[in-house]
């Protein structure tokens, strides 16, 4: 089992790394640079420690309590582990910093050795493990980094363990927080109640979704521009992206916006569409990265993008909050047509679009039906992140090079790898698409956009360049510097969790994503804390 390893000194995490079967490899050593605990990366890159580390098989109650004394000359360093399949990528740390060798990392005097009881407890858990004869999937082995959002959670947990009284506000993961409104909840409840009656009971349903829901998605959300048979109802957009990847397979080439929602890159790697990661660039070989920064208005310069089979494109975008204009999407569709590519258009945040001129669907663009697939979800529409309901539109016109309709192969994959969305969730989905449900969704979106406006104003008022947050629930702030360091500084000094832009790809370096999905009171409090934190920095300066 792989584990994240935290290197401690004086009850503070001074290094992070990975460990496997008792051998640790520290990838970054930090030196505590000020009383507030903000840290500077002194050394990055793989830095093996040539001695065994005894790992506990379960997470310790307190992640930052020194657990095991490891003597490494002087000083004595302590390791603790948090059970995890994740790696922390070297790219999480500023690669441009000067490398400082181990001898140059100056740490104050050694803490006392851990108790004999702790050592004995650890020793009992180190029974040797037998490997099977099964080779690890080489594509999974390429994925150095753990999935971003659990990593943010781990850092939050580690901070809380060392600051148990901290009241942390999360503007991090884009999970919804407001209750599902009454009409939609009634739809879910009625769906569940029906299962308890002989006439209302249903078992397995169609893998593609109920005809009524497919029909209603096509008519209410697409105004009839797509047919019910082209709509595949699912358990959410994330799973659909993975299933789409298995339709295209390992020989397909792909392009992603940089930064982007991590699932496009990770599923491309898992499917075998990429080479190894280039640690210097923080990018996978054979994957086309389309830089999206403030300088290009968060829309890629397509004249510099190589042809790929697939183009993953998300609008309104996670994390940048940019909603592509009609002209930009028209350019994208023309680019895909010219190259014979397929656009996988992720419209999960479409309901946040309030600007009349911004398209909510790629199928608003003429010609898109021949080159695009759309994935979408009720997660952010109606707070269905836990309920799980999404859909994919695969137009009949979309064909592979040999003329096979893509829809046929997607249908085949859905029929084999999926057994239909929950009948309760689908009942809720029907309620979402009633007039009352649509009005309720509008109310939820108003609420989150109100949060977004508060966060935008706060960060802009502090002098930052601020993007997004208008037709999207994400505020994208240009902070400059290392985004993981800014993330840590804000966590430590304001107890606010954000997401570092670099977590979404190297193009996100120097930016921070704030999510507007928190409750209003938390957004107001976070704004006050950020204002205080940055105002005091101005005074210091």
Ligand X SMILES: Cc1ncc(COP(=O)(O)O)c(C=O)c1O
Q: Which residues of the shown chain bind ligand X in the complex (CB under 6 A)?
A: 174, 236-238, 261, 314, 318, 346, 348, 377, 379, 385, 390
Q: Which is nearer to ligand X, 93 or 384 (CB)?
A: 384
Q: What angle, rounded to 10 degrees, do the helices at 182-194 and 435-461 form?
A: 130
| Distance separating alpha carbons of residues 300 and 290, to the nearest angstrom | 6
Q: How far is the CB of 270 from ligand X (least distance, A)?
A: 16
Q: How many CB atoms sit inside 10 A of residue 223's CB? A: 11
Q: Which is nearer to ligand X, 44 or 377 (CB)?
A: 377
Contact (CB, 8 A) for 108 and 75: yes
Contact (CB, 8 A) for 477 and 514: yes
Q: How far is the CB of 308 from ligand X (least distance, A)?
A: 19
DSSP code for 145:
S
DSSP secondary structure string for all residues of 392-417? EE--TT-B-TTS-BHHHHHHHHHHHH
Longest dimension (CA), the chain: 75
| Distance separating alpha carbons of residues 320 and 260, to the nearest angstrom | 8
Q: Which is nearer to ligand X, 320 or 483 (CB)?
A: 320
| Distance separating alpha carbons of residues 13 and 162, to the nearest angstrom | 9
Q: Which is nearer to ligand X, 261 or 284 (CB)?
A: 261
Q: How far is the CB of 346 from ligand X (least distance, A)?
A: 5
Q: Which is nearer to ligand X, 119 or 385 (CB)?
A: 385
Q: How far is the CB of 259 from ligand X (least distance, A)?
A: 11
| Distance separating alpha carbons of residues 251 and 286, to the nearest angstrom | 11
Angle at 301 between CA 299 and CA 305, to 5 degrees: 115
Q: How far is the CB of 237 from ligand X (least distance, A)?
A: 4
Q: Is 204 helix (H, G, I), strand (E, B) or coil?
A: coil
Torsion of Cα atoms, 302 then 307 then 310 then 312, to 10°: -20
**Closest of 377, 328, 393, 378 to residue 355, by C-alpha:** 328
Q: How far is the CB of 50 from ligand X (least distance, A)?
A: 41
Q: How far is the CB of 332 from ligand X (least distance, A)?
A: 16
CA 496 to mean position of chain CA atoms: 18
Q: How far is the CB of 390 from ligand X (least distance, A)?
A: 4
Q: How far is the CB of 174 from ligand X (least distance, A)?
A: 5
Per DSSP, which regions of 419-510 are E strands? 465-468, 474-478, 496-497, 499-500
Q: Which is nearer to ligand X, 155 or 238 (CB)?
A: 238
Q: How far is the CB of 329 from ligand X (least distance, A)?
A: 16
**Closest of 380, 323, 330 to residue 354, by C-alpha:** 323
Q: How far is the CB of 236 from ligand X (least distance, A)?
A: 3
Q: How far is the CB of 313 from ligand X (least distance, A)?
A: 10
Q: How far is the CB of 142 from ligand X (least distance, A)?
A: 22
Place of tokens 């108790």: 115
As given in the structure block, the two tokens for residue 98 are 């000067």
Q: Which positions ≥6 away from 374 have C-beta within 8 Å?
A: 345, 346, 347, 361, 362, 363, 392, 393
Q: Which is nearer to ligand X, 400 or 447 (CB)?
A: 447
Which residues share a beta bridge with 284? Answer: 277
Q: How far is the CB of 396 from ligand X (least distance, A)?
A: 24
| Distance separating alpha carbons of residues 46 and 83, to the nearest angstrom | 20
Q: Which is nearer to ligand X, 93 or 517 (CB)?
A: 517
As given in the structure block, the two tokens for residue 281 are 């660039």
Q: Which is nearer to ligand X, 155 or 513 (CB)?
A: 513
Q: Which is nearer to ligand X, 39 or 271 (CB)?
A: 271
Contact (CB, 8 A) for 376 and 352: no
58-65: list long-range contacts, CB under 8 Å, 24+ apart.
58/83, 59/83, 62/161, 63/6, 63/157, 63/158, 63/161, 63/162, 64/6, 64/8, 64/11, 64/12, 64/13, 64/158, 64/161, 64/162, 65/11, 65/161
Q: Which is nearer to ligand X, 30 or 380 (CB)?
A: 380
Reported as type and span, the H/E element at residue 18 is strand 12-20
Residues in the chain: 541
Q: Which is nearer to ligand X, 49 or 310 (CB)?
A: 310
Query: Pairing relation of β-strands 68-71 and 39-52?
Result: unpaired
Q: Which is nearer to ligand X, 260 or 423 (CB)?
A: 260
DSSP code for 371:
T
Q: Which is nearer to ligand X, 161 or 516 (CB)?
A: 516
């Amino acid at each position: 089992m792989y584990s994240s390893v935290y290197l401690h000194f004086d009850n503070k995490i001074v290094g992070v790394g990975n460990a496997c079967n008792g051998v640790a490899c520290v990838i970054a050593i930090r030196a505590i640079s000020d009383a507030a605990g903000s840290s500077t990366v002194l050394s990055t890159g793989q830095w093996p420690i040539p001695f065994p580390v005894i790992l506990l098989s379960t997470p310790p109650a307190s992640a930052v309590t020194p657990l095991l004394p490891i003597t490494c000359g002087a000083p004595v360093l302590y390791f603790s582990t948090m059970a995890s399949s994740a790696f922390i990528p070297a790219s999480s740390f500023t690669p441009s910093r000067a490398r400082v060798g181990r001898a140059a990392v100056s740490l104050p005097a050694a803490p006392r050795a851990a108790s004999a009881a702790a050592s004995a407890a650890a020793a009992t858990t180190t029974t040797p493990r037998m490997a099977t004869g099964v080779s690890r999937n080489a594509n999974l082995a390429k994925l150095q980094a753990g999935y971003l959002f659990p990593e943010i959670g781990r850092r939050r947990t580690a901070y809380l363990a060392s600051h148990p009284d901290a009241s942390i506000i999360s503007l991090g993961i884009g999970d919804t927080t407001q209750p599902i409104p009454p009409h939609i909840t009634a739809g879910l409840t009625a769906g569940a109640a029906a299962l308890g009656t002989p006439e209302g009971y249903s078992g397995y349903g169609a893998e593609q979704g109920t005809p009524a829901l497919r029909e209603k998605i096509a008519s209410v959300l697409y105004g009839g521009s797509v047919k019910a048979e082209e709509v595949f109802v699912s358990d959410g957009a994330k799973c659909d992206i993975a299933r789409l990847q298995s339709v295209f397979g390992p020989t397909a080439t792909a392009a992603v916006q940089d930064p982007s929602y991590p699932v496009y890159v990770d599923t491309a790697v898992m499917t075998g569409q990429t080479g190894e990661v280039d640690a210097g660039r923080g990018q996978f070989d054979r994957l086309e990265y389309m830089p999206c920064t403030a300088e290009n208005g968060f829309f890629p310069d397509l004249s510099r993008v190589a042809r790929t089979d697939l183009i993953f494109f998300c609008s309104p975008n996670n994390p940048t909050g940019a909603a592509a204009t009609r002209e930009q999407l028209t350019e994208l569709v023309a680019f895909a047509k010219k190259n014979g590519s397929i656009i996988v258009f992720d419209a999960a945040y479409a309901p946040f679009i309030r600007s009349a001129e911004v398209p909510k669907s790629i199928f608003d663009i003429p010609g898109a039906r021949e080159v695009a697939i759309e994935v979408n979800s009720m997660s952010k529409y109606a707070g269905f992140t836990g309920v799980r309901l999404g859909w994919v539109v695969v137009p009949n016109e979309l064909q592979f090079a040999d003329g096979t309709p893509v829809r046929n192969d997607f249908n085949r994959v859905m029929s084999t790898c999926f057994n239909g969305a929950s009948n309760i969730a689908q009942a809720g989905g029907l309620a979402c698409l009633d007039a009352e449900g649509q009005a309720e969704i509008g109310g939820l979106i108003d609420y989150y956009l109100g949060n977004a406006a508060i966060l935008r104003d706060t960060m802009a008022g502090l002098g930052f360049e601020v993007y997004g947050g208008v037709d999207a629930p994400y505020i994208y702030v240009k902070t400059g510097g290392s985004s993981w360091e800014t993330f840590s500084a804000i966590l430590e000094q304001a107890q606010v969790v954000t997401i570092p832009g670099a977590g979404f790809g190297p193009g996100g370096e120097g930016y921070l994503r704030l999510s507007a999905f928190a409750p209003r009171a938390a957004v107001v409090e976070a704004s006050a804390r950020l204002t205080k934190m940055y105002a005091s920095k101005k005074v210091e300066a």
